[in-house]
Structure 1
């Protein structure tokens, strides 16, 4: 069931830290994007790109000493995250990226603005997550950041990756980047020269899928999870992750062995294998409804 995840070359340096917040910060800084490149079948209205994996490895190396310090003295990070009143993981991810970008001694970016609203008269056109000056290239960069969890259904082609909310699909998110979020030519009186999507999180294959079925744009440097509607045979080896652990699990097991299963993310002890359990009746209803809706447009 989980053989496809047991890949020795995957690096997960965020797991070396003890404090949960620091583990999450390290994940946000150094984990690769879940996509290695933009799928070739996409037609982009406004072009953007993903950072190479080597860029994130370099950021981690530059930030490592700071992370070690925060692991022993996390109060500054704790105080910063107290500004966040929402429990949404995507907003938490953005806050952690923001914390890192404010640590200007450890990366080549000068933060010019965060959450920049673009307004035309009474109408809000959109908002930019981050506007940066890359001091190495002198380019003005626009970053949009997102933390996403997508499950492959039917096959692994681009239209069939669904979020936990079925209106949230990978294809829809990529189109939103291109059509809406990266539409702006300038911000804060700076001409935008490069546009980057920071798209992190995890992808899940249905039980029985194999690595050979993966599209080439899936980043194989990120650990893949499995998803299904059956309790695995090794159920005693799993425990349910708390919501905040979806970014990065605690160093130690945070809950009892799973006894009563419900929709959620589970982790196999000592194996670091992730299993997204989906309730069978709800899942089948959603798939049948989606199939019916698709038939209406054939």
Structure 2
């Protein structure tokens, strides 16, 4: 990315919704709502519409600023079953409108422009694309036309332990920003996500977190979703539901290195940790 482009990014006027979300003294918190039968983190606990809505209500009560709704498992460790856009939409239909009515901005976690369009029509306010505008050619056009914030996540088809993961991310984001620019997406509408666990070894996920501040050179907000990810278990064996402590540690470090949004399953614990971090920092 050129110095000129970087400067333009740094001075881009944020989308009004992003400006509001990022105005807090600590990162905004995105609560995860999986309406899938095969999520790595919750095993389909919220696949039933009534349970999904109840969980969304709980996430909001615990302090979630955004609810991220996904209807296709994209778990990064293999075994996820791809589904059609029609299946995603069928899973979202009995849940999404009621989730939007709860009053907190809803993001749609999908790599398919058809699904994203349905969700935006139903009231979702943010698109969360785990392939960073590079998998579905229609996604950038849709986001530009709707003038909504978009989360651009780094991803790879498979991990390669031999690569420099930071250079790979920077090259990937340069391509995503080029696609966004050609489509007419304002830079102030874009959030970058390093994609912890996606197309990365456990060590590469740790590197991405440790060197997160390097992505800030792109001048865009950063979202980090390290919640319950496998790299935590590489330090000490633990099943996904047993990784809350590791999730908190990773997210606090991410906040200190410039993360603007934290995507989490365990919202109450993360919100408490962030508030305590800020309260302690204020006493320095």
Q: What TM-score do you get using the length of structure 2 for normalisation? A: 0.33
More strand by share: 1
More helix by share: 2
Q: What TM-score do you get using the length of structure 1 for normalisation? A: 0.32
Larger Rg: 1
